[in-house]
Structure formats: structure tokens, C-alpha cells
Amino acid sequence: MNSSGQKVLLGVTGGIAAYKSADIIRRLQDQGIIVRVVMTPSAEKFIGKVTLQALSGSPVHLDMFESDNRVMEHIDLARWADKILIAPTSADFLAKLANGHANDLLSTVCLAADCPIYLAPAMNHAMWTNPATQTNVEILRSRDYQFLGPDSGDQACGETGAGRLMDVNNIVQTLLNNAQLLKDKKLLITAGPTREAIDPVRFISNHSSGKMGYALAKHAKLAGANVTLISGPVNLSPLSGVNLVQIESAQQMHDAVMAHIDNTDIFISAAAVADYRPESSATEKIKKSNTKMKIEMQKNPDILADVASSSNIFCVGFAAETENIIQNATLKLTKKKLDMVIANQVGKNEHGHFQGFHSDRNKLTVITAKNQHDLAEDNKDTLSKHLIEIIAEAYEKKHSS
């Protein structure tokens, strides 16, 4: 794997694991990566600036106003980096990032950055599991920050639990591998619901939030892909570096997919597309008059089937089912001649809570013609990361055979 010339800005925050930043620098450099370092004031209490400066071969940056030459050093550093890795990331720094604070050089660089930012938390297990920290983690995950760890095990305080800095070799390999899995591949992803108009104020839709599709687009981008995301109406922020196409109806999504399908390597149909639409849509609001109203419905185009039947693109579908999940998903796989189907149960569970739709969590079954395996319940961000890894591996196997 050739990473020569890649530029990584290493941020070091206060914590006993700060001493491992020296090893991280060395291992990144072994891969041909150029490293520069920004430390927080508290980090210098744990490891000396001179040590990291000698290892990186570049000045270590501590203070926003330390440079005699550049007042806008935080902007320079943010634009210089291809990636930012903060290892270790303290609980305090997670809180700063989640709340948009910019009161030291490192937090200001992160706020000004438009490159991927990787966070490797390290702290006492009680601090990691504290609800305040976990809320900050969820906020940051929703804003495209990529978490590396933490690991579980013995801690410097003598206690045991989750909160150890991820193994340094795993940090470095994940940082490198993520950018290589789908390097320069073109991915087209659909997300969210569609809305099928009844009249100017009413429509038929579903409970899809779009969170899974957006998370897949995020991790595909982190994996080095060129990503176009075609999205129905959702309450989610656009993703940095992802080409976003916004639509409303199933027909509009079909048209957008077909307009962008040329030269696509992988198509992931994560959207919950309406199967039917009203045969006609009233031009004015329909007034309440009779006790009943009849709406004639017509079938929408099958986007996934059209893509799979008209190209050699690697096609991944989602099967959101309320019953007979595996059987129905497998039928979809074979009937539409897909490479892979991701199956999950949707609707309300026995406790009356939505699962799949609306929820931040899910559990999935990945099905191909040769095998299937389950992904245990987790947040959609983590599941999407695993799915991109699985899809990348399956794509490579297909094209190398």
C-alpha cells in the first residue's frame, strides 16, 4: 500500500496515553506519510514538545499566536492536512469539538478543517461511558468524525474497562486502509424516503430517516471513493465532499439515478422508495367533502432492477421487511439479480418503538448468492463502516475472479 506523500496532522491532547503519540509518528512515517504535530497545552504535561519535534522533523505547534510569520496559522494547518488524527483524544477535547469550541490551536484547526478527522479516544472507562461523553460521541459521529476505538482492558489507573487507546498499529492501519478500500471508485447511493403527491399539501411517504444511506456515503468517502448521494426529503445535513442530489418523488429519484449511472462502479440502493404513486395529483388542495376518498395508484419504476438489468455495476440492495426477513430478502437478491442484499426488520417492535426507520440503531443480515452473515445491533454509523468494508471486499473478489 503506497501512502507516500500523504499529509497527516497529528493532534495530541492531555492524557497518559500521550506518550504513544511518539510511536504513532514513527509508524506513519514508515508508510511514507508526512506528519506535523499540534499539541494542546495539557498534552505537554505528559510528553515533551522537543520529543515530538525531533521525531516528526517539523516544528510542533502549540499556540495560535506563536508564529512570527503567520497570524492565520490555524487555517494554514487545516488546509495543509489530507487527514487529521487526534490521538489520544481526551473527554475534554470531545466536549470541545461537539460544542464547536475554538479556544486553543488544535480545536480551532479542527473547526476550520474540511478534510477527514479521526478521533482515537483514551480515558478512564467511567469517563468514556458517562452519558455526557456518549452524547458528545453521537454528535460527532453525526458530523462525519471517524472514531478509532477505544479498546477495552487494563488502564493506567488500575481499573479495567473500555477507554484504552486503540492499539497503535491498528490506528495506523485503519487510517491507511480506510483511504484505500474504495480509492478512486465511483459510488452512487440513494437514501431516505420518497414523497408521492396527492395534491399540493398532501403526499404518501414512509418513515425512512435517511440515516443509513448518509452514513454509507460518509464511510464510502472516507474509504477513498468518489460519492454521489441521491436523497429524498430528510432532516440531515449535507456531507462534506459528497455530491448531493436532492429529489422528492420516486420518478425523480429514478431519473437522477439514470442521469448519474454512467461510469459508476458500485450502486447502493439504501432509499425506501415508494412502490406506488397516485395516478394523478390534484393541482389544488382537495377539500374534505365525502366520508370516503378513493385514490387510484400506479406502479413506480423499479430503480434497483433497472440498474441491475442494464449494466455490469456491482449492485447492493436493501430489504426492509416486517416478516420472513431472510426469505423475502433472498427472493429480492435472485429476482433482481443483485450482488448483495442487506436485510433488516422495520416497523414497531413489541415495545412499540420503531426499529430500522427513525432509530439510530439497527441490526442487519448481509446476503449474497454464496453466503450470509449477521451484523449485531449497533449504531448506524458503525454498521455502515462495516458494510462499506464488506462491499469493498466483495467488489474486489468479483472483479479479480
User: In the 8-state DSSP scheme, what is residue 17?
Assistant: G
Of 314, 337, 305, the C-alpha closest to 393 is 314
Helices in 283-324 by DSSP H: which ranges? 303-310
**pLDDT range class, residue 333, cuts 50, 70, 90:** very high
Question: In the predicted model, is pLDDT for residue 369 greater than 70?
Answer: yes
**Pairing state between β 243-246 and 226-231:** parallel
Q: Which pLDDT score is estimated for 353? A: 54
- pLDDT tens digit sequence for 54-95: 999 999 998 876 655 555 567 888 889 989 999 999 999 999
**pLDDT range class, residue 338, cuts 50, 70, 90:** very high
pTM: 0.69
What percentage of residues in the chain have a pLDDT greater than 70?
93
Q: Across residues 353-358, what is the average pLDDT? A: 58
Q: Which pLDDT score is estimated for 357? A: 65
**pLDDT range class, residue 178, cuts 50, 70, 90:** low
Q: Within 10 Å of residue 300's Cβ, how many Cβ atoms?
A: 18
How confident is the prediction for the chain on average, in pLDDT? 88
Q: Which pLDDT score is estimated for 393? A: 92
Question: In the predicted model, is pLDDT for residue 377 greater than 60?
Answer: yes
What percentage of residues in the chain have a pLDDT greater than 90?
58
Q: Are 37 and 62 in contact (CB under 8 A)?
A: no
Q: Write down the catalytic residue from 110, 115, 157, 315.
A: 157
- pLDDT tens digit sequence for 182-193: 988 999 999 999
**pLDDT range class, residue 31, cuts 50, 70, 90:** confident
Q: Which pLDDT score is estimated for 44? A: 92
**pLDDT range class, residue 45, cuts 50, 70, 90:** very high
Greatest alpha-carbon span in the chain: 82
Q: Which pLDDT score is estimated for 348? A: 56
Q: Which pLDDT score is estimated for 75? A: 83
- pLDDT tens digit sequence for 251-298: 999 999 999 999 899 999 999 999 999 988 888 888 887 778 888 999
**pLDDT range class, residue 2, cuts 50, 70, 90:** very low
Examine the residue annotation and report whether 157 is marked as an active-site residue of this protein: yes
Interatomic CA distance for residues 241 and 228, integer angstroms = 9
* Residue carrying C-alpha cell 431516505: 192
Domains parsed from the chain with CATH numbers? 7-178 (3.40.50.1950), 186-400 (3.40.50.10300)
Interatomic CA distance for residues 155 and 17, integer angstroms = 10
